[in-house]
Amino acid sequence: MPLHLWSVLLLGLGLLALAQSGPPLRTLAEKRGLQIGAAVEPNLLLQDPEYARVLAREFNLLVAENVMKWGALQTARGQFNFGAADLLVDFAQKNQMAIRGHTLVWHQQLPRWIYDRFTPAEMEAILHQHIQTVVGRYRGKIAYWDVANEVIGDDARPRTTPFDVLPDYLEKAFRYARAADPKAKLFYNDYGAEGLGPKSDAIYALLKSLKEKGVPLDGVGFQAHLDLNFSPEAARMAENLERFARLGLEIHITEMDVRLSGPGSRAERLRKQAQIYQEVLQVCLRQPRCKVFTLWGVSDAYSWRAASEPLIFDADYQPKPAYFALQRTLQQP
């Protein structure tokens, strides 16, 4: 190959390397007063050094994908296993990352014993002990707790849970969490409520009534598990977030991912995926109360929807167009 072609090739590779080593997302986010997070499985921190490296380089907030759920923490009544959760907390602290705790009241991933028929008084004691023990253990270390997750079903009505035996279990959960760590901000978190519609109306009504009753609720998390038919579109989402903001709530995007599956060439779909990430980040940046933007994982390899490649790094930790879209968006004034 003639010399000048080599230099063109080297220049191209150099530019590529430069593009890939642009400023980390966390550095850019910090300048915008935003925390950028990822859901984490602590066992991967031990198994995969690249996972830990990318996480620490790009993100300034962690959320436990599974290890802070009831089923992981309290497998037998009164017996708590904090090993994996502690690992996550240590990693976050060593790397100057904030932590979202996930989650204290959810209808899924519960231990089997909680389905025994308890009296209201017993359930109250169980709920209190769990929240006091878990939130208390990490008092001062966890900035935000998803106290309640997915309480409203897709039919816009409250779901059935083993906690139902205890009237006002939801209010109680928030009060127990506040008592266990007065500095942690307490959240309601849900999916399919990004836009306007019956489900987000029901959540809005619930949160409004909790606020009116003086329940210690600080914020609302919109999960944003999306696909290429991004629905609602950005404008509707902005409008929806605004009404929650007017309740005085802090707003977090808590579990974003965008499935790549669908019609069209791979290149087109990657572009569309990037555009959706960009639009949701823009909605958050333009909403003064939106303070946290979190992805539901780091690389496609370990995503709960791995087959549909929904994240911003591919399975080899190469940044995808969605990564660069977030990087650019954070740099725009």
- List residues with catalytic annotation: 150, 255
Identity of the residue, 100 or 272, whose beta carbon is nearer to ligand 9MR in the bound complex: 100
CA–CA separation, 211 and 245 (whole Å): 12
CB atoms within 10 A of CB 98: 18
Minimum distance from residue 298 beta carbon to ligand 9MR (Å): 12
Minimum distance of ligand 9MR from residue 17's CB (angstroms): 33
Query: Pick from 81, 93, 109, 231: which binds ligand 9MR (CB under 6 A)?
Result: 109
Residue pair 212/172 in contact (Cβ under 8 Å)? The answer is: no
Query: Maximum distance among all alpha carbons in the chain?
Result: 83
Q: How far is the CB of 288 from ligand 9MR (least distance, A)?
A: 26
- Considering only 47, 108, 261, 331, the residue that binds ligand 9MR (CB under 6 A) is 108
Residue closer to ligand 9MR by CB (options 65, 124) is 65
> Judged by CB, which is closer to ligand 9MR: 47, or 108?
108
The span from the CA of 24 to the CA of 51, in Å, is 15
CA atoms within 13 A on the CB side of 154: 1
Binding of ligand 9MR at residue 255 (CB under 6 A)? yes
Residue 304 sits in the site that holds ligand 9MR (CB under 6 A): yes
Binding-site size for ligand 9MR (CB under 6 A) equals: 9
Residues between 210 and 229 that touch ligand 9MR (CB under 6 A): 223
Question: Which one, 124 or 194, has the nearer CB to ligand 9MR?
Answer: 194
Q: Which of 298, 280, 215, 214 is nearest to 241 (CA)?
A: 280
Place of tokens 């309640």: 148
Burial label, 247 (beta-carbon count in 10 A; 0-12, 13-18, 19+): middle
CB 135 within 8 A of CB 142: yes
Question: Cα 79 to the chain's mean position, in Å?
Answer: 27
Residue nearest ligand 9MR, CB atom distance: 304
**Residues found near ligand 9MR in the complex (CB under 6 A):** 65-66, 108-109, 149, 191, 223, 255, 304
